[in-house]
A and B are shown apart, each in its own frame.
Chain A
Amino acid sequence: MNQSVFYLLSFMTVLFALLVVFSKNPIHSALYMVLTFFTITCHYVLLNAQFLAIVNFIVYMGAIMVLILFAMMFLNLGKDTEPQKPVLLKFAAVIAAGLLLVTIFAALKKTDGGQITGIASNNIGLVKELGKTLFRDFLLPFEIISILLLSAMVGAVLLAKRDTK
């Protein structure tokens, strides 16, 4: 049962991800991306990672998608404004991306599944366990991220503010 749900979800994820890339209309791409994020959220639920599922749902499907759609409406992106890349560049990009695909695929295929370390406990994705890890083992990264957010905030104000001079 669990396995068939996984395969169904994976199929849908890949399908929607492909539609994001292949649809002509950027708004359609954005909407397919919502669906991709949704199926990924379902994957997290399957893996018993409740916190990640909720965060993925709120942040990616909510905030980031709204941001992308807003940006599209502001910039009024259409077919005429889309930059045309030279054929040579497209060719090079296809080769580079293809090589990357081969590398990852080969690495995945060559690695025996048994070697990969399993998850220690079933409760690892629960909010309680995550909080314990975050505030005990990963306290320093958690605290120091505040510097990251602060500098990003200062920078956003700095760049957006109108200079009086």
Chain B
Amino acid sequence: MTGIIIISLIAIVILFLGLYKLDKAIVPLAVAALLAAITSYALAWNTNIYYFNNMLFVDNFAILFSILTIATTILILLLSPGYFEKISSNVAEYVALILFSLVGVLCMVSYNNFSMLFIGIEIMSISMYIMAGIRKKDLASNEAALKYFLMGSFATGFLLFGIALVYGFTGSFNLETISTLVMESGGQAAALFVAGILFMIVGMSFKVSAAPFHFWAPDVYDGAPSLVTSYMSSVVKTASFAAFIRMFIVAFAGVIHIFTPTLWALAAITIIVGNVIALYQDTFKRMLAYSSISHAGYMLIAILALGPDSGNAIFYYAVAYSIASVSAFAILIKVKALKNSESFDAFNGLAKNNPKSALALTISMCSLAGIPLTAGFFGKFFIFTIAINQGFYWLVGLAILNAVVAFWYYFRVIIAMYMKSPSSDEKIEYGFSYKLVLWIAAIATLLFGLLPGILSGLL
């Protein structure tokens, strides 16, 4: 809760900094505030406090996901100096909007009441609708913002209708009250209640871009500025999944067996659609967009195989995925600035001129593909383990098959970097904070790939 207050206040202060043209102070202040927020969350470890009539419940699950999303935001803000300035002079507003959306994210990961879930999702989404469209002269950016806004509001309608039906049946927005009622009914649920949960699943599936609710994702990820895309594909996705699984862990654990076929189909379709279409992409950015859809499919498996380890598995996966995608987008931004192209050909011969960035991108691609010794491997490993323990053999088989197929498009960029000759000798120039982010991302990916025990036992 202290974290939410710190971030909200500093976001408003940053708006004022923009007013007085103190642009140099914006990012340092934001990073300092986020570090303070991380500290306040870390200090709350194991305390399990309820806030404001059980509106928020800051348990260890909420703390872990809060710290992860805040830390990812820090990495993204460290990439921002020099990036937003190129779009317009309203840098303070951009940073403030990102911080506002982070407030929504923090509500989403620690909600204990569906009204908080809804408000959290709205705060996060509205800031993102705007951020997607900040390149006002760019048609793709405009399209991204409008598409995201229209489809996002439609999906929110489904979520809200679902919450209303659940309320109509249980008479409460409180997750624990609903859970008690569900347990009393002994796994039997009225049709209206089931329909309500179904609508909520539809709304949340849209937010995590699971197929067949994924049609917005490629265009939005492609059209939005790359730094905003990296925020969407890491922080927004992590938060949406945390909210999604919290809903089932706390409130609907007793009736999840009713939704096994639904979630099974959602996961299978998402993995296949994301992977197969990613194979046919010509630009790196669009490939990352489709791969992020397939990653949503893998994470859905953890929700399907709901158990005591599910939260931990999804957390590990989100850590690996967030770090890898931030570092991939960081290098994409630099390559785009140099070559003015996002296609795979722009990466040709990157290893010759910029061996370190090629190595960083290779590590992040290996992590996304799930190769051993990187964090992504254990992310997939934990999810597949809990799914096998619950007997979802076919789904795990399908997922592993698709993970192998995914090597093809992740390695395309690695092959381009190492095997092809560069078109020019230009080197990429990195600032200090940029180098710092790439180093942190690479080291963290390898560290969590070698010593998974650091994070896996926390929940």
Q: Which residues of A contact B (CB under 8 A)?
A: 103-104, 106-112, 115-117, 136-141, 144-145, 147-148, 150-152, 154-155, 157-159, 161, 163-165
Residue B89 at the A interface, CB < 8 A?
A: yes
For the side of the interface on B, what is the size category?
Answer: 35 or more
Interface residues in B128-152 (C-beta closer than 8 Å to A): 129-130, 133-134, 136, 145
Task: Enumerate chain B residues within 8 angstroms of A107, measured Cβ to Cβ.
Answer: 165, 191-192, 194-195
Verify if B88 is at the interface (C-beta below 8 Å from A): yes
A152 to chain B, nearest CB (A): 5
Known: A111-B169, A144-B4. 13 other contacts (CB 8 A): A107-B165, A117-B170, A144-B103, A148-B122, A148-B123, A150-B100, A154-B15, A154-B130, A155-B97, A155-B129, A155-B130, A158-B130, A159-B133
Residues of B near A137 (CB, < 8 A) are 53
B53 touches A147 (CB 8 A): no
**CA A152 – CA B100 in complex, angstroms?**
10
Ranked nearest first, the 10 interchain pairs of A and B with the lowest CB-CB distance are A155-B130, A117-B171, A107-B195, A110-B191, A140-B52, A151-B100, A111-B192, A107-B191, A140-B55, A141-B115
Are the CB atoms of A111 and B119 closer together than 8 Å?
no
The contact of B191 among A106, A148, A152, by CB within 8 Å, is A106
How many Å from the CB of A111 to the closest CB on chain B?
A: 4
Distance in Å from the Cβ of B256 to the closest Cβ of chain A? Answer: 18
Hey, what's the 0/1 contact readout for B60-92 against A, CB within 8 Å counting as 1? 000000000000000000000000000011100
B250 CB → nearest A CB, Å: 18
Let me know if B52 and A108 touch, CB within 8 A. no
- The reply to whether B127 and A155 contact each other, CB–CB distance below 8 Å, is yes
Q: What's the minimum C-beta distance from A155 to chain B, rounded to whole angstroms?
A: 3
Q: Which residue of B lies closest to A144 (CB)?
A: B119
B88 touches A147 (CB 8 A): no
Measured between beta carbons, the chain B residues less than 8 angstroms from A108 are 191-192
Contact A151 B126 (CB under 8 A): yes
Chain A residues near B113: list those with CB within 8 A: 141
Closest-by-CB residue of B relative to A106 is B191
Residue numbers in A under 8 Å from B55 (CB-CB): 138, 140-141
B198 CB-CB contact with A under 8 Å: yes
> Known contacts A104-B195, A111-B190: does B169 contact A151 (CB below 8 Å)?
no
Say yes or no: B190 contacts A155, CB within 8 Å.
Answer: no
B36-58 CB mask vs A (1 if < 8 Å, else 0) is 00000000000000011101100
Give chain A residues whose Cβ lies under 8 Å from the Cβ of B360.
none
In the assembled complex, B93 has its CB within 8 A of some CB on chain A: yes
State in angstroms the CA–CA spacing of A60 and B146 once bound together: 23
A136, B12: Cα distance in complex, Å: 26
- Assess the A148–B134 pair: CB atoms within 8 A: no
Partner of A136, one of B53, B93, B123: B53
- From residue 150 to 185 of chain B, which have CB atoms closer than 8 A to chain A? 165, 168-171
Is B26 engaged at the interface, CB distance under 8 Å to the other chain? no
A-B contact pairs, 26 of them (CB 8 A): A103-B198, A107-B192, A108-B191, A116-B169, A138-B55, A138-B115, A140-B52, A140-B55, A141-B113, A141-B115, A141-B116, A144-B103, A144-B107, A144-B116, A147-B8, A147-B100, A151-B101, A151-B130, A154-B15, A154-B130, A158-B134, A159-B133, A159-B145, A163-B89, A163-B136, A165-B88
Tell whether, in the assembled complex, residue B119 and residue A103 are in contact, meaning their CB atoms are under 8 Å apart.
Answer: no
B108 CB to nearest chain A CB (Å): 12
On whether the beta carbons of A112 and B190 are closer than 8 Å, the reply is yes
Are A155 and B126 in contact, with the CB atoms below 8 A? yes
- Structural contact, B195 and A144, CB atoms closer than 8 A: no
Tell me the minimal C-beta distance from B251 to chain A in angstroms: 16
Complex-state Cα separation, A116 to B170, whole angstroms: 7
Cα separation A115 to B53 with both chains bound (whole Å): 26
CA distance A138 to B104 in the complex (A): 17
Is A148 a contact of B119 with CB atoms below 8 Å? yes
Residues in A whose Cβ lies below 8 Å from that of B194? 107
Q: Chain A: which residue is nearest B92 at the CB level?
A: A154
User: Which residues 296-328 in B have Cβ within 8 Å of A in the complex?
Assistant: none
B358 is an interface residue with CB less than 8 A from chain A? no
Q: Which residues of A contact B191 (CB under 8 A)?
A: 106-111
User: Which chain A residues border B100 with CB–CB below 8 Å?
Assistant: 147, 150-151, 154
Q: Give the distance in Å from the alpha carbon of A112 to the alpha carbon of B188 in the complex.
A: 14
In the complex, how many angstroms separate the beta carbon of A93 from the nearest chain B beta carbon? Answer: 13
Asked whether, in the complex, the Cβ of A145 is within 8 Å of the Cβ of B119, the reply is: yes
What A residues does B52 contact at CB under 8 A? 139-140
List chain B residues, Cβ under 8 A from A139: 52-53
Q: Across the two chains, which residue of chain B brings its CB closest to A154?
A: B93
Asked if B271 CB lies within 8 Å of chain A CBs, one says: no
Known A-B contacts A137-B53, A141-B116; the reply to A151 vs B195 at CB < 8 A is no
| Cα–Cα, bound, A144→B198 (Å) | 27
| Docked pose: A137 CA to B206 CA in angstroms | 30
Q: Is the CB–CB distance between B116 and A140 below 8 Å?
A: yes
Closest to B170 in A: A117
A116 touches B168 (CB 8 A): yes
Q: How far is the CB of B9 from chain A (nearest CB, A)?
A: 11
Complex CA distance for A152 and B193, rounded to whole angstroms: 33
Complex alpha-carbon distance, A150 and B97, angstroms: 9
Q: Determine whether the beta carbon of B89 is less than 8 Å from that of A165.
A: yes
Complex CA–CA separation, A144 to B169 (angstroms): 27
- Give the nearest-CB partner of B90 in chain A: A158
